[in-house]
Amino acid sequence: MASTTVFGSIADYHKGSIEIVSGDPKHYVFSNIFEVASKSQPYERVVVGKNLEYVQEVMRAEGTSPWFGCAHDEFALCMDGEVEIELVKLAAPPTGKDGAVLIGEAPHETPKGKRMGLIRLRRGHQALLPAGCGYRFTAKKLGVILQQTILGELSQQKWSQICLQ
């Protein structure tokens, strides 16, 4: 029997289901990143996957984000829409904290440092967000970002709200 792969979007997704073959169901989670993004605030970082200290966070890309920074590398994958990422090599990079942190004097004021450039992502494109840089996202139309990072102070864990029980 032939099957067809259908890639969802925030405008058109189906949650689907999961069948546990063995083990305890409480050891499994199942969610849909587009559903999570549809219920999130712009650039709220909702954890949808976790392995030790590493997490995958979903963000609703809408408008312009505040500036974020990180003491370690992160990766951003555009799952839907188009997103621009501004990068700044920070004069005073964040240290001593895992995960992304808010940086800058005001949410939309460019932090001190040397501008590194601009990355334009479309669905399926990935960008490295290097350690010690500041970054912010801009999406002219609604989109979805899946980001790999380390669990930190901005990571929102909403397992009971996003997973099938």
The pLDDT assigned to 21 comes to 78
The pLDDT assigned to 165 comes to 45
Handedness of CA 4, 9, 10, 12 (dihedral sign): negative
Domains delineated in the chain? 46-153 (2.60.120.10)
pLDDT by residue (tens digit) across 55-114? 999 999 999 999 999 999 999 999 999 999 999 999 999 988 999 999 976 767 889 999
Burial class (CB in 10 A: 0-12, 13-18, 19+), 45: buried
Closest CA to 29 of 11, 41, 17: 17
Q: Read off the pLDDT of each residue in 27-50 and give the average, rounded to a whole number.
A: 87
